[in-house]
């Protein structure tokens, strides 16, 4: 049970601070005007579409953050739906982290750590073949 709690804390930090917090930090730049700031100087996304559509990236990041927080709360409360949602979030993040550099590195560290803890707790000492 303790590993689920640690994994849910990692996912909560990931969702609240990285995803939603990152979105909130970029909003003033878009209000003031992105032409005054060279936002691509700070973000080097591999896919040019991401760089060119930062406003859509904000919306996507907020959605991912909210879903990640919901999964973390479900996992904290020991709900099966929270476990499944958390595993799905971690797997999707592992898939997308390569396209979201440099933030993808931290995404990968947090999501992979949470997934490892979830799997260790769920399967415990079970063997593949008895």
What pLDDT score was predicted for residue 36? 59
Compute the distance between CA of residue 16 and CA of residue 24 in angstroms, rounded to an integer: 10
Domain ranges for the chain: 2-27+46-122
> Per residue in 40-68, pLDDT tens?
555 566 777 777 777 777 788 888 889 99
> Per residue in 5-47, pLDDT tens?
999 999 999 888 877 777 777 777 667 765 655 555 555 667 7
Report helix, strand and coil shares of the chain as percent, to nearest 5: 80, 0, 20
Among 80, 87, 76, residue whose Cα is nearest residue 115? 87
Compute the distance between CA of residue 109 and CA of residue 124 in angstroms, rounded to an integer: 22
pTM above 0.75, yes or no: yes
């Amino acid at each position: 049970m303790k590993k689920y709690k640690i994994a849910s804390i990692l996912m909560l930090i990931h969702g609240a601070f990285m995803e939603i917090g990152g979105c909130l930090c970029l909003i003033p730049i878009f209000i003031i005007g992105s032409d005054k700031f060279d936002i691509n100087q700070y973000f080097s996304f591999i896919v040019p579409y991401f760089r060119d559509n930062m406003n859509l990236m904000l919306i996507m990041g907020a959605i991912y953050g909210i879903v990640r927080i919901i999964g973390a709360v479900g996992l904290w409360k020991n709900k099966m739906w929270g476990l499944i949602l958390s595993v799905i979030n971690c797997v999707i993040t592992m898939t997308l982290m390569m396209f979201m550099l440099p933030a993808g590195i931290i995404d990968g560290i947090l999501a992979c750590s949470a997934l490892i803890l979830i799997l260790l707790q769920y399967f415990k000492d079970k063997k593949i073949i008895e």
